């Protein structure tokens, strides 16, 4: 089983749609969770950290379910500029720990 597994995608949605991505992790001792966005041939850019209580940043909402070992990202009112690959990252140590990334889920928002 992969350490971090994401929806395979790709997701093709019209502008204005709501889209959700899921990510599961295998290590129940995982401590920290993040969503990154990666544009083609660019670096991962931190989108948001994921907190136990869930958190929202504008059109983006992240949720964590420790019991089921998954995190999710919801994007409301999709924009063309949201087209990118979304990476889920998990660390096992909140300080110096490495991040383990999922394969990524590609989103294309169409006019």
Partner 1 sequence: EPEVTQTPSHQVTQMGQEVILRCVPISNHLYFYWYRQILGQKVEFLVSFYNNEISEKSEIFDDQFSVERPDGSNFTLKIRSTKLEDSAMYFCASSEGGAQHFGDGTRLSIL
Q: Binding residues for partner 1, per CB under 8 A?
A: 32, 34, 36, 38, 41-46, 49, 87, 89, 94-104
- Closest approach of partner 1 to the CB of residue 35, in Å: 10
- Closest approach of partner 1 to the CB of residue 16, in Å: 29
SS3 readout for the chain: CCCEEECCCCEEEECCCCEEEEEEECCCCCCEEEEEEECCCCCEEEEEEECCCCEEECCEEEEEECCCCEEEEEECCCCHHHCEEEEEEEECCCCCCCEEECCCEEEEEEC
Residue closer to partner 1 by CB (options 28, 95) is: 95
Residue closer to partner 1 by CB (options 21, 36) is: 36
């Amino acid at each position: 089983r992969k350490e971090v597994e994401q929806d395979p995608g790709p997701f093709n949605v019209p502008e204005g749609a709501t889209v959700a991505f899921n990510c599961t992790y295998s290590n129940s001792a995982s401590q920290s969770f993040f969503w990154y966005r990666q544009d083609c041939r660019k670096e991962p850019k931190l989108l948001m950290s994921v907190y136990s209580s869930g958190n929202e940043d504008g059109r983006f909402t992240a949720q964590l379910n420790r019991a089921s070992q998954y995190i999710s990202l919801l994007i409301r009112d999709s924009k063309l500029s949201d087209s990118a690959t979304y990476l889920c990252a998990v660390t096992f140590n909140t300080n110096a720990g490495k991040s383990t990334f999922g394969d990524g889920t590609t989103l294309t928002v169409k006019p």
